Chains A and B, each alone.
Chain A
Amino acid sequence: MDYNLEIVVQDAKDALSTIDDLEELSRLRNNLLSKKSQLGTARSSLATLPLDQRREIGAKIELARKEIESALAERRQLIEVRTRKEKLAADEIDITEWLESSTPARGHQHIVQRTRDELEDVFVGMGFSVNEGPEVETDWYNFEALNIPPAHPARGMWDTFYLDLGEPETVLLRTHTSPTQIRVMESGELPIYAVMPGRCYRRDTPDSRHLPIFHQIEGLVVDIGISFANLAGTIEDFTTAYFGAGIHSRLRPSYFPFTEPSAEFEITCTICAGSGCRTCSHTGWIELGGCGMVHPAVFEAVGIDSKRWTGFAFGFGIDRCAQMRYQIPDMRVLMENDYRFMKQL
């Protein structure tokens, strides 16, 4: 027995350390552990040894074999890890290529519709229902029931599109969402806490702040004991809920035939937060809409006892709200459905 097993093991380890490939590794394994290998020869020569040495040497050979096996396994794992690493490294890509080439799979909801949803949600949170009415209305619903008799000078406030149905100027495209108030009140269910959003039409030449087709949201509360103070409270609650805690409201006298007292409501300028800028003409306030206590003549038109019930109404432009919130310089872009605009918001 002239093998030094320690050297055999050491040689095997040395040989292993140069292997980088699984095929070579398996060849080497064969060389190291086959019958013809030094270890194999040593094992087969055991039979020639005297019995007392056989056990001792045999145990040493087995130990050497285990050591080589474990070195092989270790090397195999090393190669496998390295190979996997290399393979993945070769797969490398600049993932910002994906970023730069990606487009959102999802489309966008129209900014006016979204604004309408948000406004509805604020009022729903305040216990209001959302009611809708037709866009084609009669003179009665759009004007007369709202205390605006035919040829009333106040009709000049609403340039109207008339339709070729019925007698001349009896059927029209509603100029505001207020006729829906009449319909809600006519339904006879009291009290009323409702907002009424929808599309309206005015025969105005479009400019950066007006469109002939636009959207309004109207609010109506009719209950026992409703006061002007409640109107002011509701407007203020809505303003801070929708525009943010720093934005407040104020009411100033105005005139609408269907409310008395009437007011216009202004909110803190959202551009300068009230410190004064060009948008608000350096007043710190911008006008948002009109409001007031429901006129007794309107209650009479729908058969509600104005001695018992009082109420308030308010209304403002949804498009204007969106314009203010998203700082859209020219409203006309809202109707163009231009991808370059829609994809921004």
Chain B
Amino acid sequence: MKVPLSWLKEFAPFTQGAETIADTLSDLGLVVESVKHIGNGLDQILVAKVLEIDAIPGADKIRRVIVDTGNGEEQIVCGASNFKVGDHVPLASVGTTLPGGMEISRRKMRGVVSNGMLCSGNELGLSDDHTGLMVLGEGITAGMPLTDAIGIKPDTIYDLSIEGNRPDALSLLGVARDLAAKTNTPLYDQWQDDVLKRNSTDLHRDGTALGVNIEVLSTDLCPRFTASVFNNVSIEDSPSWIARRLTLAGMRPINNIVDASNYVMLELGQPTHPYDLSRLARHTLRVRASMKGDSLVTLDGVNRVCGARSVGPGDDLRDCLICDGDDVPIGIAGIMGGESTEISGSTAEVLLEAAYFNPMSIARTSKRLGLRSEASLRFERGCDPNMITISIWRFAEILRQSAEYKGTIDVGDTLEEPGPIKVNLSRINNLLGTDLGIGTVSDTLSRIGFKCRGTDRLEVIPPTYRPDVRREADVAEEVARLIGYSTIKPARPRSPRVGMLSPYQSARRRLREIAAGMGADEAWCSSLVSESDHAALGLDMPAITVENPLSADESVLRLSLLPGLLKSAAHNIDRRVEGIRLFEVGIIFPYPTDRHVDRFSKQVLDEREMIAILFAFNDDSGENAMAALATITDSLGSRPLIDVWQESYSDWVLPAMSIGESVSGEAGEASGAMSERAAGANTGAGDGAVTGTGAGAGARPEVYSLHGLHPSRSGIVTIGRGRIPIGTVGEVDPLVLNHFGVTSTINDTRHRRVGWLQLDLKLLLESNHEMPTASPISKYPSTDIDLSFEVPDGVSSSKISSVLHQACIDTVESIRLIDAYRLDNRRSLTFRIRLSSLDHTLDDAEIASIRDKCIQQVHDKSGAVLRSI
């Protein structure tokens, strides 16, 4: 809201400087967004009358002008063309400095001497108009100071940002009241008495009087409604002081009636609406709730349909309408009037509406129609019902010269006066951390119109213009605001607890460190993706849709971190950045199996926090992703049992179940290259019975499916003996890479491999929080045996590894796959098994026996045979 300082001073004699006032307003919570000084440096600008205009030979942009300065004639060269002989214009004579700092000197243009400059509104800092000279109105004479001629004095305009709880501060009176209270300046109350003395009339309580008929059918939407009749109206321009003030406050002057209505709204905060009485069917106004099918064309020329959509819980779709005697809607109450009864040049009778509308109803309708106005801004915050009649009389007073006030019909008036608020002084002091006395509190409050009774336990009655103050805490804020927040001495509270991150939060940080340590940069991708992003992965499960997206590209909640990271990779590749590794920790949003949700639901979705790493460095492949999985698993204190399931290689079935179900520990023997660590450390440590995974929503294994991944180079990561799916590992499908534009710019012929790892953090981290225990290590020399097997297709190396592990469980230190190749369609895997004993050096016989056992068991359990070398 734009507030001219000169207007504020009508209400109280503020003597502080403009900057001090700006600070004070901000300290009051009436935040000053900007301060604009106008009309400064105009002292030397005079009015000149144009006597002659002549062309200058050879120049088509500038002309020679002779003006009467009131003190002789001067010759000026001027580039503007919007004036004629006889006009009065502002003249800056030689030696004058303009508000912008420009100094006027004698100049010669095309051989013609110019003794000054004729000015535009822009050059004088008075308007934004720089298209031509500021041509002044009638009734002024050459030689007058410009400031006298147009009645301006230097002024300061504050642009205030008024918070949603302060209807009163959307008026000059309200701002002045706060400022006066804070600065101990007496507020002039005299003007109100003057208005009352000169204009008040008896109110007609009957709906029918003064030749008009008023019906309020929906008193819940409109508790109080008044209509005032004005006869013998002459429509004309407003007096210049009104037009000027409206302009300074950011409103465009239209005609005396509309301007008076706006003026009263700015001054007192009460919106009013003038109707052309003669255009009002049956001279009747009817206030009612909208019915299905109601519509009207508002002043802005838009057809508005009422009750069209719900704007939230509890909305009964009733919009408050003003209708005429034929029940035709002619205005949307409290928001905007209709075209049909607009004031026009021929209006001779005016009916002025001033009412109190239900704030919530106005807010709903305003939101429903997407229509906000100066009126709705005030009504939805709650106007002062006691300001209605004074506003009417103020309107009448302003129009005294051009309209005859006949009287007012006042119906409704069912508003309750606010009751007293019980305020305990010590509680106020406890809440604020202050030690204020009763005197300070009641003095402070009374300065903004609150009535206080009592001593320690106060009864505070807020004024009707402060509907936001309802409770003790509201009163405390008023006190704090006026004594100044800065006067409250900061004090440090003391937490009785040790602050620390949860184990989950610490582990998540550690995993981010590890991912970065593997050369991946952390990305932040949008949680909103497009349907086609999911379709490109082949994800055919439903995703949650945004009802009102900003664009189709960001219209569904993601089901995987893959699209986002691929897009980020493509973004970089497009900019010729090669060698990308990216990771992200973020939420994915599986569709709920139970769609029932209401506004009190404690849990809407089973959101899953994932960590994903995309390996797109030049030589990256799924191997890097697998190494990352190993590193991540290793970094967890608890070292859970991790397996990888791949359809054509696994001899175990991926559990088809919802994650919340408990899975029996008997589901399968421990297997897998990584599980060996767990088993080796402690037989109990790998028992990953997943507990505490939250709700049992069932769609998750689907989400952790292999969509978008290379069909023969990827698998599902599982945790625990129950092999609960927690993510995916492998390579991205080359087709998907193409779709997202992740292709090599270095070598188009080479097939690009991109490694991928995505894990459910909660399942990973909360599956097992046991601390590992250390096992003793051997003091005796270890022995390696290398075994090369010819392994049938469909038998995984994890399977061989796990059989080997079982075969030498007492003496194994480590088992590693050291060579894998395929020759003549025969697959060979070489494992290096390192053996040692805790109490002696293994002798040749022992080693030979272990070797035989290994070979035998691998053959028995997998069909692989030792390769003849």
Contacts and interface: CB of A to CB of B under 8 A. Distances in A.
Contacts of A144: 313, 599
A285 B524 CA distance: 30
Contacts of A138: 597-601, 604
Interface in A136-157: 136-140, 144, 149-157
A339 B571 CA distance: 9
Interface in A89-127: 105-110, 112-113, 117, 120, 123-127
A337 B603 CA distance: 31
A161 B600 contact: no
B532 interface: no
A169 B600 contact: no
Contact of B164 (A213, A255, A340): A255
Contacts of A165: 544, 592, 595, 597, 604
A329 interface: no
A109 B522 contact: yes
A191 interface: yes
A233 interface: yes
Interface in B419-467: 430-434
Contacts of B505: 120, 130
A233 B490 CA distance: 4
Nearest to A234: B493
A111 to B, nearest CB: 9
Nearest to A143: B312
B515 interface: yes
Nearest to B380: A153
Interface in B9-30: 26-29
B637 to A, nearest CB: 19
Nearest to A132: B505
Interface in B356-399: 359-360, 363-364, 367, 380-381
Nearest to B377: A153
B799 interface: no
Interface residues of A, number: 95
Which of A149, A150, A225 has most B Cβ within 10 Å?
A150
B135 interface: no
B480 to A, nearest CB: 5
Interface in B507-542: 509, 512-513, 515-528
A208 interface: no
Given A170-B598, A340-B577, A334 B524 contact: yes
A157 B164 contact: yes
Given A107-B581, A171-B604, A228 B480 contact: yes
B318 interface: no
Given A157-B164, A166-B597, A253-B485, A127 B498 contact: yes
B359 to A, nearest CB: 7
A82 B480 CA distance: 85
Contacts of B577: 338-340
Interface string B160-177: 000111100000000000
A138 B595 CA distance: 13
A164 B607 contact: no
Nearest to A154: B164
A123 B497 CA distance: 12
A343 interface: yes
B531 to A, nearest CB: 13
A233 B492 contact: yes
Interface stretch (A19-27, A37-45, A57-65, A256-264): A256-264
A193 B582 CA distance: 35
Contacts of A123: 499
A337 B524 contact: yes
A337 B502 CA distance: 28
A227 B164 contact: no
Given A161-B548, A223-B493, A134 B29 contact: no
A193 B492 CA distance: 13
Interface string A61-91: 0000000000000000000000000000000
A235 B492 CA distance: 9
A338 B572 contact: yes
A295 B473 contact: yes
Contact of B516 (A108, A171, A221, A336): A108
Contacts of B311: 150-151, 169
A199 B495 contact: no
A236 B490 contact: yes
Given A153-B359, A169-B310, A170-B598, A230 B433 contact: yes
Nearest to A204: B550
A232 interface: yes
Nearest to B542: A164
B599 A134 contact: no
A232 B433 CA distance: 10
Contacts of B604: 134, 136-138, 165, 171
Nearest to A197: B505
Contacts of B164: 153-154, 156-157, 255, 257
A221 B432 CA distance: 15
A153 B381 contact: yes
Contact of A253 (B28, B359, B474, B522): B28
B491 interface: yes
A113 B550 contact: no
A129 interface: yes
A248 to B, nearest CB: 10
Given A136-B605, A162-B546, A293-B431, A125 B516 contact: no
Given A152-B363, A228-B488, A255-B164, A127 B599 contact: no
B485 A151 contact: no
A131 to B, nearest CB: 9
B312 A150 contact: yes
Interface string B804-819: 0000000000000000
A205 interface: yes
A151 B500 contact: no
Given A191-B496, A255-B166, A107 B476 contact: no
Contacts of A191: 495-496
A203 interface: yes
Contacts of B554: 212
Nearest to B34: A281
B518 A107 contact: yes
A263 B485 contact: yes
A163 B492 CA distance: 41
A277 interface: no
B313 to A, nearest CB: 5
Contacts of B515: 107
B434 to A, nearest CB: 7
B599 A105 contact: no
B471 interface: yes
A113 B471 contact: no
Given A169-B310, A260-B476, A193 B497 contact: yes
A263 B31 CA distance: 11
B75 interface: no
Contact of A125 (B359, B499, B523, B550): B499
B361 to A, nearest CB: 9
Contacts of A153: 164, 359, 363, 380-381
Nearest to A281: B34
Interface of B: 26-29, 31, 163-166, 309-315, 359-360, 363-364, 367, 380-381, 430-434, 471-474, 476-477, 480-481, 485-486, 488-502, 505, 509, 512-513, 515-528, 544-550, 554, 557, 568, 571-572, 575, 577, 580-583, 585, 587, 589, 592, 595-601, 603-605, 607
Given A144-B599, A338-B575, 20 more contacts: A107-B520, A124-B500, A127-B496, A138-B597, A138-B598, A140-B600, A149-B360, A151-B363, A153-B359, A161-B549, A162-B548, A163-B544, A166-B598, A169-B310, A232-B433, A236-B490, A254-B31, A255-B29, A293-B476, A296-B473
22 contacts: A107-B521, A109-B522, A110-B521, A120-B501, A135-B607, A155-B367, A156-B164, A165-B595, A166-B598, A168-B309, A170-B598, A171-B597, A232-B489, A250-B486, A252-B26, A253-B27, A260-B474, A295-B473, A296-B472, A336-B568, A337-B525, A339-B577
